[in-house]
Structure 1
Amino acid sequence: MAVSTTKPEAGKASAGPIAWLASQLSFGGAPVGNLYESVDDAAAIASIAHAWQCGIRHFDTAPYYGYGLSESRLGAALGDMPRTSYSLSTKVGRLIEDDAQQKSHRDGFIVDGHRARFDYSRGGVLRSFEASLQRLRTDHIDVLLLHDIGALTHGEHHAAILRQALDEALPAMAELRAQGACKAIGIGVNEEAICLEVMPRFALDVIMLAGRYTLFEQRHSQAVMAQAQARGVAVLAAGPYNSGLLGNAQGPGTFYNYAPADAATVARAQRFYDVLARSHTDVGAAALQFPLAHPAVASVVCGLRSIAEVDQAAARIRAPIPADAWRALREAGLLLDGMPTP
């Protein structure tokens, strides 16, 4: 059954500069880049094609995801589809290089023989973009995002990286947009602070924010969501399960923010399962649907690895959720006051 592309009534919004993006549910391409576990080519490509067949129409990836593997697999799966039938987002900010000595990866991608190097220069952005076009087998990118700027990633080098992003990377991306090589530009990050630093200083079309505006967590996104709505910046809400914390049907996962979760975090996650069980509501369905109610959110981006996961997400995005489920979460103090719900 196809995924509905109509957003829930409570979340009806123009989505600003990416109003053309047709998927309320987007395919997140990190897992098919061998994130945490290896997926063979045939299974990965079949999962991507199945997502398209189910009606998912936006696909997100990055050179970093499997050091080009995710992009290549998306290109193989979608290359024969009508280009007007789907949209793509990918990222710049890292260059992928061959490295025969590279056998293990602390960042979680199970891929040998390659490494990623940060490069936020104008030349680096253009080289990254051209390589992505080749891997994705396309002549344009719909949404181009500057990947992982911010103090969370760069620590003491943050100020210098931010200057280069504002002086070189983002202007280069704006040139690509002006040339028609991409439709929209923005940043793809995991923290609120960098969004608030960049938005007043460079006009963005889009922010991809991973893990901060979710059913489990809204505290560290209130300011950015308000600013995005005020400035007409569309938000792609990624990481809706918070590293799998809320994605399991049986109970909380044990990871949060890409690392093992502490006991207090798992205990809080368990409260979502306990509260929603009373209204027979699937926690994963609530997690996928919650971000869509915010007027700034254009789509929720869910990392998907297999046909089974695609089918599960497609079912969850359509699943009816009773109003008393959202009310119960509010009464339990698990949603911040004022957060819109579907």
Structure 2
Amino acid sequence: MSKLLISTSSFDVKSNQVLQNLQAQGFEIVLNPYGRKLKEPEVLELLSNDIVGMIAGVEPLTRNVLTATKSLKVISRCGIGTDSVDLEAAEELGVSVHITPTAPVIAVAELTVSLILSLLRRTSEADRTLREGKWNPLMGRLLASQVVGLLGYGRVGNRVGQILKAFGAKRVAYDIFRDDSLFADTVCISSLDEFIARSNVITLHIPYNKDNHHLVDRDFINKMQAGSILINTSRGGLIDEQALYDALVSGHLAGAALDVFEEEPYSGQLRTLPQVILTPHMGSYAKEARIQMEQEAAQNLFDSLVNLGLAK
């Protein structure tokens, strides 16, 4: 019997009519038993020789993983990026790769803006101190008075820029894949150093790859304005977390918010800092967005199986 692997940490199979249809055709669905991002050995274990298609999360689908599985034909990513998939190996092995490019955009953008607001107005800090029995109003800053730097101006970065416009914040953007048609309401900066220097809020919206590993390193952070804040709802591995910790402890940066981490689940020392907001990789976890994303991922999988003559 052919099997389908759903490797995301959660997935509502019962409410997904496409998957119900595939089950009715005889496909067995294998779920992620860990309830978290899978590690490479765990992916290898789950991708048995009977798996012909998978709905993937952000687990590492490396060349080693893809060459080890002999029957896999389709990877349907439940999300935007493909940085966790070795696309070159997938093409060589005849494995098609698909994404859900639109579903997570609004959810990730709204979480990003909520984190910026919370850092500037220090709402998380105030909540914690009040729960500790201290009545201590904290002085914050206005979003309307900030220059927000959008590092990456694709779908999510563009949506964040649109939302920020309503708050009156100045917006600058840096993107190596510059598309001038996207920059109608945002200042496009051609130099990364100038982008860093002009921003006092920087939010990351770029994919991860080996070339930008720790792009936000100690040098990058030192170039940021004193008192700046940093947000990452994109991918772990973009930020040198030790350098970020040191800059926060020294006071060079006023705050940071991270939804993604180099190692997940995260258990590092940033948890000890009150000026840091940490969320467990939940950027796309808005109910409406998640439903749409799961439906699109399942449909992409189904369409590919049909094209291969494996489903009808």
| Structure 2 length-normalised TM | 0.35
Could you tell me the TM-score, scaled by structure 1's length? Answer: 0.32
Bigger Rg, which one: 2
Specify which structure has the bigger relative contact order, considering alpha-carbon pairs within 8 angstroms and separated by 6 or more residues. Answer: 1
